[in-house]
Structure 1
Amino acid sequence: MQLASSGGRRLRHAALAARKLALEAERTVTRKELSAAARDAGKALDLRPAQRAVLSELVACWGEQEWDRLLVWPSNDYLMSRTGLTERAIRRILRQLIDLQLLTPKDSPNGKRYAVKDLAGQVVDAFGFDLTPVYARRGDWAAMLIEQKQLRVVQKRAFDEVTICRRAAEEALAALAEHFPELDRSAFEGELKALQARTPARSKVTLPADLMEAWQLLRTQVEDAFYEAGNAGLGVRHSNNNNGSPSKACNKGFPKKAEAVRSTEQPSEHLSPELILEACPTLSDYGQPVRDLADIVSAGRYLRASLGAHESAWAEAVEEIGTVRSAISVIYTLQLYEDDVAKNGGESRIKNPGGYFRALARMVKTGKIDLAVEILAMRRRRMA
């Protein structure tokens, strides 16, 4: 038999499960408490606005009676006037709320919703909807909200990591294009575009599981390519300019006494060989005694290859700031790199020592850096 009233409905498993939920003995629930539980349920179950509106109107009908069930009996016409929804939409949403175990229907013999009153006119029972599950499951709503909050934190960290990797990869590609334009970057750029297309907006809750690993891999590959292109600092072989016979003395590769230092290149007294030796113990890599400025120049010319700096960088520096300051710039850069490696556990912020030397020489020329001041500061740090 199909009832014409909105109260008639098919039996649902969810309705039977929700009916088993009950309040604590002699527990009185206020409308405010019920409303708070309904709001938590809406957030935990991610209810749509229309579903929340209907649930909110049902809660507002609770009269705070001292019953063991939270019964309300608003008509569909009342819900339509309060929510602005059609009757068909109201019926559909009520079925959905029952399936979510938020409501339990309590049907009357004729399928109508109404209150039962005693002879004194007091409401003692009702036929309509039972809101007890909304309040009885408030522990479930709290647990679900905590889980959702934790998930949002994890997703935020994942999106932050993706953003960091993306920016690092873009910066590494820009550095490759600037310093090593001859290097083929097409594979990296293609992978970058593909990952950008796969990466969802932050408004999305779920980040693909393998996406963060793909961004981290791309960042590592591009940075490694830039590192290798820059000769990887001190981790490469020295430039071999010895084309002589291998039967000759092995120290033939050391430069002879450098050309006489011109009077116009004499540095200030603060840049004496003794001071440079105290500030830059890396001169021990030279393998020859350093007694005067000519030895400093020879050491700088020899150690230039340790930076991975091209001969053109040395020639440019000599032309701009002279051989003495060029040699001191090489020694200073090498010491700065080694100090940074020792301080940071094997890593250095100077990823391209050769490029650093070239930039340092240019700043010395323009007066942005005073070599004497930098060497003195380095010695103070070492003595401290």
Structure 2
Amino acid sequence: MESESVTTPFGRRPMSLALLLKQRRGEAIAAGTTRNKWKLFRSVCEARAGLGVTDRALTVLDALLSFYPEDELSSEKGLVVFPSNAQLSLRARGMAAATLRRHLAVLVDAGLISRKDSPNGKRYVRRGRAGVIDEAYGFSLAPLLARASEIEAMAAGLAADRQMLRAMKERLTICRRDIAKLIAAAVEEAIPGEWERISSLFHALLERIPKAATPENLRPLLKELEMLRLAIINTLESREKIQNASTNESQFERHIQSSNPESLSESEPGLETAQEARLDDQPRSGLKDDDQGRRGDGGQGLRAVRTDAGRLKSFQLGTVLKACPDIADYGPGGAIGSWRDLMTAAVTVRTMLRVGPPAYEEACAVMGPENAATVMACILQRGGCITSAGGYLRDLTRRAERGEFAPGPMLTALLRAKDPPIAEVS
């Protein structure tokens, strides 16, 4: 502790309870506390906004620290510096005396230094016979050392806030650029959508950007902009999927019809080779009656088989919707009336289940868009049983690529869960 006495101000400066408390708090330094004065001064500079001091006041504090002979501020040594006004003004970059007094008062009010006035108000030191300082009058740096931990924590917090704010501003800039260019691309390519309304919403959000940005007032605005960007990307992505499906529609073989569309094969059929696969519009003269009987549906079952193009045959849309009714909620207008509607709903469900675009595109390439949409409908229906929809879809795609998977058993299981099979009568 620097001193047990109370130092009242010299001259006409009044004493106050706040000044007394600051003095006592400045003297409460734990034994053995030390800090490098220049590192501590840097922390004060970083925490300037929290401490309520100006840059000119920091210039004065820098000058006061230069009068302390050691690099380490220590509670075991005297913490009082006693420069004259002339010397202090020189080290404060030639600051005028009146300005110097004003900023010294700012440092005192901020609780970074305290005055230790002599009986006559002068700053001086009294030394013993051995040259050791017995008593010094001037400015005490004890409050600065006493608050070292507080100042360092404040500086670290403000530095983290500045870094966070910088990162948020970067994200905001990128998000603004993305939205502006995506809207421009959609309008230029005449993609259907409410682009005027989206553009108006975008400009309204930009007008809300505050001039004095802080993490607190920037965070909700950034979240709204990122949600708008995601909505635009989903709209453009859905449009791209629909266009791709429309382009490839002529390449798909027409669906295999079934005289009993509600029944599927009991177990997953082996995927036939291209030479063995038969389309339903080809003559069946090459099959014997007992072969057709073993198929059980005249060769027109709902089993998914490979076409000559190497794709899986798809099922009737009504069968898919009966097995997976939940997918209808995500169709255009909350209903599905065509395969195109189902594929559009599948893209929406893919985004909701966090299935990456590469995984779904690979499934479309391997199984075909209709079967990929069917599988997404099944995954949605069984959502409670599947931990990672993306990983599950990639696994099914790999199995389908090896010829080990067809959507039939998935639909069969879902239909059985709704309508348990009735035992056949021989």
Q: How far off is 1:75 after superposition?
A: 1.9
- Name 1:74's counterpart in structure 2: 83
User: Residue 107 in 1 paired to residue 117 in 2?
Assistant: yes
What TM-score results when the alignment is normalised by the length of structure 2? Answer: 0.52
Structure with the largest fraction of helix: 1
1:107–1:164 distance in 2 versus 1, CA, 3 Å: same
Q: How far off is 1:128 after superposition?
A: 0.8
1:83–1:279 distance in 2 versus 1, CA, 3 Å: farther
Task: Summarize the alignment of residues 162-311 of structure 1 with structure 2, pairs less than 5 Å apart.
Answer: 162-163=172-173, 165-181=175-191, 183-199=193-209, 207-208=217-218, 210-223=220-233, 226=236, 275-276=306-307, 280-281=311-312, 283-285=314-316, 307=343
- Name 2:58's counterpart in structure 1: 52
User: Residue 148 in 1 paired to residue 169 in 2?
Assistant: no
Contact 2:366/2:400 (<8 A) preserved: no
- Which one-letter code corresponds to 2:124 in the other structure? Y
1:304–1:123 distance in 2 versus 1, CA, 3 Å: closer
Q: How far off is 1:194 after superposition?
A: 3.0
- Which one-letter code corresponds to 2:118 in the other structure? S
- Residues 5-35 of structure 1 show CA distances to partners (whole Å, capped at 9, x for unaligned) of 9986443555423311336576485xx7233
Q: How far off is 1:196 after superposition?
A: 2.7
Contact 1:103/1:132 (<8 A) preserved: yes
Q: How far off is 1:165 after superposition?
A: 4.3
Structure 2 unaligned runs (5+)? 1-8, 245-258, 262-279, 283-303, 320-337, 345-363, 380-385, 392-396, 406-426
- Residues 56-82 of structure 1 show CA distances to partners (whole Å, capped at 9, x for unaligned) of 221121235986651011122112211
Paired with 2:55 and 2:139, the residues of 1 have a C-alpha distance of 20
1:305–1:104 distance in 2 versus 1, CA, 3 Å: closer
User: Residue 40 in 1 paired to residue 48 in 2?
Assistant: no
Q: How far off is 1:304 after superposition?
A: 6.4
Task: Summarize the alignment of residues 357-376 of structure 1 with structure 2, pairs less than 5 Å apart.
Answer: none
- Residues 300-348 of structure 1 show CA distances to partners (whole Å, capped at 9, x for unaligned) of xx9567557xxxxxxxxxxxxxxxxxxx99973444566688697389x
User: Residue 22 in 1 paired to residue 21 in 2?
Assistant: no
Selected match of 1:63 from 63, 69, 72: 69
1:339–1:66 distance in 2 versus 1, CA, 3 Å: closer
Q: How far off is 1:103 after superposition?
A: 0.5
SS in structure 1 at match of 2:102: helix
Contact 1:73/1:128 (<8 A) preserved: yes
- Residues 223-277 of structure 1 show CA distances to partners (whole Å, capped at 9, x for unaligned) of 565577679799xxxxxxxxxxxxxx9x9xxxx969xxxxxxxxxxxxxx96438
1:204–1:75 distance in 2 versus 1, CA, 3 Å: farther
- Name 2:419's counterpart in structure 1: none
- Residues 346-373 of structure 1 show CA distances to partners (whole Å, capped at 9, x for unaligned) of 89xxxxxxxxxxxxxxxxxxxxxxxxxx
Q: How far off is 1:219 after superposition?
A: 3.0
What TM-score results when the alignment is normalised by the length of structure 1? Answer: 0.57
- Which one-letter code corresponds to 1:345 in the other structure? A
Q: How far off is 1:158 after superposition?
A: 4.0
Paired with 1:281 and 1:106, the residues of 2 have a C-alpha distance of 91
1:70–1:379 distance in 2 versus 1, CA, 3 Å: same
Contact 1:44/1:141 (<8 A) preserved: yes
- C-alpha RMSD over aligned residues: 4.9
Paired with 2:318 and 2:31, the residues of 1 have a C-alpha distance of 93
Aligned length: 287
Q: How far off is 1:134 after superposition?
A: 0.7
Q: How far off is 1:136 after superposition?
A: 1.3
Report % sequence identity: 23
- Which one-letter code corresponds to 2:368 in the other structure? Y
Structure 1 unaligned runs (5+)? 235-248, 259-272, 289-301, 309-327, 348-375
